[in-house]
Amino acid sequence: MQQSNSYLWVGIEGGLFRYDGQNYKQYSYRKSDKNPVSPIINDLCISYKNKVWIATADGISVLDPIQDTFKHFLPANYPELSTSVTNHIFEDSDKTIWVGLDNRDPLYYDESQDTFISIGWKQYIIENNLDVRKYNCVNTIKNKSKDEIWICSNVGLYSYHKITKQFSHYHKNINWNSPIEFSDLYCQDQKSVFLNTSGDGFAIYHLDTKQWEYHKASPLSNVLSDDHKRWSILPFGDRKLWVASSVGLIEYNLDNHKSTLLNDFVSHDEHNPNWMIFNIFKGDDEVMWLGGLNGMWKLDPRFQCIQKLHIDLKEKILQQSIKTLSIRIYILHVNRKGHSIAIKFQLLSCMK
């Protein structure tokens, strides 16, 4: 159960939700609203100021949960955003907000000037003949060091030095059948970088040897999805990684380099996550939240407990449905028949 001073924020294709473990609030999109939120949410980020940054198909919104007010960054007023879909929002170690866009340069937000600034990533690709594709999409941005960031994209892995303003490209020096598109990464002790791919597997880049290796997730790995850019990778437990994929939840052992499909959580039963999982988030007490094709789930790996909590977008009624050994675990489940649901979650400790 979530702490009393924390909220769970959920962004889906139906809007923004805030959940405190018992009640929820929906920030719906209506043109008559004074502060509407786009109904299609791709990513969320909680800033050090406890503001909720929302990446949408129509621009960027920022929610002040204390004042319950929004600020909207729309392409009409912020031309740097153009008409591109915002895929990703990230706050770096310097508390700067970064934005990953569809077919646009990564941007960072200059709060003093109230503007978004491009770093010239697409031009770097063109000048160095790194990829012939005209469509360049930034899927994830993460810290590499205090002065550098990682850039995961559909045209490979890059880093950017914020002081020298120099890029580095990490060339793929082996052949594998999976596309070069990367969706998320995890850096292990500044030695190895683990990257989820648009195929059903993931790549490892060794920083010391500058060598790549590729691991296929499972024998069922012939299923691809247009939602690959939302697939995530997350450290879990003792030297293990959990990898979201189109065939379910993959556990990768960092010691023996073996990957295992967690079949217990791969089911078409309505009480279990669907085989296609887009997002993973670690909450309190090592409890994991999974965002999949058929909704959002909370999983306690210690007891292998599954529980879901429905949100009816029309009636706005919570209905609890339990299949678990522990009744003190809640799960928020959003049922959107006929639509894939890409969910991003964050915990926000609210000031009292």
Which spans in the chain are helix H?
Answer: 121-127
Sorted by sequence, the CB contacts under 8 Å of residue 60 that are 6+ apart come out as: 53, 54, 72, 73, 81, 86, 89, 99
Cβ count near 193 (within 10 Å): 23
Per DSSP, the three-state class of 147 is coil
Read off the DSSP letter of residue 79: G
The pLDDT tens digits of the residues spanning 298-328 come to 777 665 555 554 444 333 332 332 222 211 1
172: β partners? none
Q: Read off the DSSP letter of residue 36.
A: -
Across the range 128-139, mean pLDDT stands at 83
Q: Highest mean pLDDT range out of 89-98, 127-136, 334-343?
A: 89-98
Mean per-residue pLDDT, 70-93: 86
Range with the poorest average pLDDT among 22-36, 145-159, 190-204, 261-275: 261-275
For 133, residues 6+ apart whose C-beta sits below 8 A from its C-beta are 154, 155
The shares of helix, strand and coil residues in the chain, as percent rounded to the nearest 5, are: 5, 45, 50
Pick from 13-17, 244-248, 332-336: least confident: 332-336
Q: How many CB atoms lie within 10 A of CB 307?
A: 23
3-state secondary structure of 203: strand
Distant-in-sequence, close-in-space partners of 67: CB < 8 Å, separation ≥ 6: none
- Say if residue 270's pLDDT is above 70: no
> Which residue carries 């009292």 as its tokens?
352
Residues above pLDDT 90, as percent of the chain:
21
Q: What is the DSSP letter of 265?
A: G
The more confidently predicted of residues 162 and 46 is: 162
Phi, psi of 3 (to 5 degrees): -65, 155
Cα-to-chain-centroid distance, residue 2? 21
Q: What integer pLDDT is reported at residue 324 of this predicted model?
A: 21
Mean pLDDT, rounded, of the chain? 73
| DSSP reduced 3-state for 49 | coil
| Confidence (pLDDT) at 227 | 41
pLDDT digits (tens, 9 = 90+) for 100-112: 988 889 999 999 9
Domains of the chain: 6-349 (2.130.10.10)
* Nearest CA among 335, 272, 276, 316 for reference residue 298: 272
Q: Binning pLDDT at 50, 70 and 90, where does residue 225 land?
A: very low
Highest mean pLDDT: which range of 155-169, 222-236, 262-276: 155-169
Neighbours of 20 (CB within 10 A): 17
What's the confidence (pLDDT) of residue 127? 92
- Given a contact cutoff of 8 angstroms between Cβ atoms, the answer to whether 296 and 290 are in contact is yes
How far, in Å, CA of 262 to CA of 266, rounded?
Answer: 7
What whole-number distance in Å separates Cα of residue 100 and Cα of residue 140? 7
* Residue owning tokens 């023996």: 256
Task: Enter the pTM of the model.
Answer: 0.79
CA 291-292-295 angle, 5° bins: 80
Whether 151 has a pLDDT exceeding 70, the answer reads yes
Question: pLDDT tens-digit profile of 174-188?
Answer: 666 555 788 888 887
d(CA 290, CA 264): 14
pLDDT average, residue stretch 238-256: 80
Tell me: the pLDDT tens digits for 35-76?
556 777 888 898 988 899 998 888 899 998 888 888 889 888
